Structure 1
């Protein structure tokens, strides 16, 4: 089956380069506009699997109006712990932040745990979609979660985690294989890097 993987649209926190993570923030006005402009560029889907976060739910409504969806808790974003809501400028002199940047310690949810959670979600939604007989589904989630999922399952593989970085309202088309779990990338969708 084919899957369209899309990152949510722009939030105020994204514009300010904040660690939004588990904060349940709405789309910024320009995020609403971007999603409306992106919608005609995306393939149709039979069903959506979405993060429970408001920014993903609203993005899904704007990208694929009226399409039935399933909220999947494991598609939520990484928990950035004490860095939630802050940006680099506010944290740059924080010793804890410096240690985290240097890779000396984890805070909140480690990236590897988020990737494994994304893998679980992918397996479950693949099974659900196959049982329902869907040929093309959509997933609306978060940048960190999607990068982790693609690092584990995207083919051809890429060297680094950030090589999978999706822009807001951008992402990938992939063939979703269930055994073994794999995402064979067919191309990009929506907003892509300039």
Structure 2
């Protein structure tokens, strides 16, 4: 069984802003980015799953117009709670310092921790494995890193260094014995480096 992981295209948001589950639109480069992603996908798939947030929904619907899309809240990005849509540099030091020291276990105020997100994502992924393949998951960077960490047994703390996933990327998972291996089919940045932390850290 093959499962294709696809990250959404570039969101319409300025760099340096904290966002997770905010329902952002996509940029004007969406048609070009969508075609670049599409070139690395199989012509036919069995089932398509997606985060319901529009930056994922629009890509899923554009890539697979002939398929019903199964939307799952468990495939949403990390809930950034009180920090949603705040500039990273404006988040109070007393709030962000504990999170920066242990972002895996410390929850964002009124949001969630990476560990909590990882659990809901893995629960959803294990359900998706029961469907016939090839399957597709269109989701967010944090969600795809959670899945890749799960199948490779990579500690969550190391996942950002282990898995650099640009907007519109495609990663193929394929069965390897009792588990999954992965190969990156497309992972090109048109926007340059992302920045999801305060500039002074």
TM-score between both structures, scaled by the size of structure 1:
0.82
Matched ranges for 1:64-103 at <5 A: 64-91=64-91, 94-103=93-102
| Structure 1 vs Structure 2 CA RMSD | 2.5
**Aligned: 1:192 with 2:188:** yes
CA distance in 1, matches of 2:83, 2:175: 34
Q: Decide which structure has greater helix share.
A: 1
Distance 1:117 1:30, change over 3 A: same
Q: Equivalent residue for 1:165?
A: 164
For 2:124, the equivalent position in structure 1 comes to 121
2:152 to 147, 151, 154: 154
Distance 1:65 1:189, change over 3 A: farther
Q: Which consecutive residues of structure 1, in runs of 5 or more, have no partner in the other structure?
A: none
CA contact (8 A) 1:36 1:62 kept: no
Higher strand share: 1
| Partners of 1:90 and 1:32 in 2: CA distance | 33
What SS does the aligned partner of 1:41 have? coil
Tell me how far apart the structure 1 counterparts of residues 152 and 64 of structure 2 sit (CA, whole Å). 24
Q: Distance in 2 between matches of 1:87 and 1:72?
A: 28
* Residues 17 and 7 (structure 1), Cα distance of their counterparts in 2 relative to 1, 3 Å cut: farther
Show structure 1 runs of 4+ deviating over 6 A. none
Q: Which moved more, 1:53-62 or 1:30-39?
A: 30-39
CA distance, structure 2, for counterparts of residue 144 and residue 48 of structure 1: 19
Q: Distance in 2 between matches of 1:10 and 1:76?
A: 16
Cα distance, 1:35 vs. partner? 1.5
Higher deviation after alignment, 71-80 or 58-67: 58-67
Paired residues, number: 183
Give unpaired runs (5+ residues) of structure 2: 191-201
Q: Contact conserved, 1:77 with 1:142, CA < 8 A, in 2? A: yes
**Cα distance in 1 between the residues matched to 2:62 and 2:172:** 19
How much has 1:34 moved relative to structure 2?
Answer: 1.1
In structure 2, relative to structure 1, the CA distance for the partners of 1:31 and 1:19 (3 Å cut) is: farther
Match for residue 63 of structure 1? 63
1:11 paired with 2:11, answer: yes
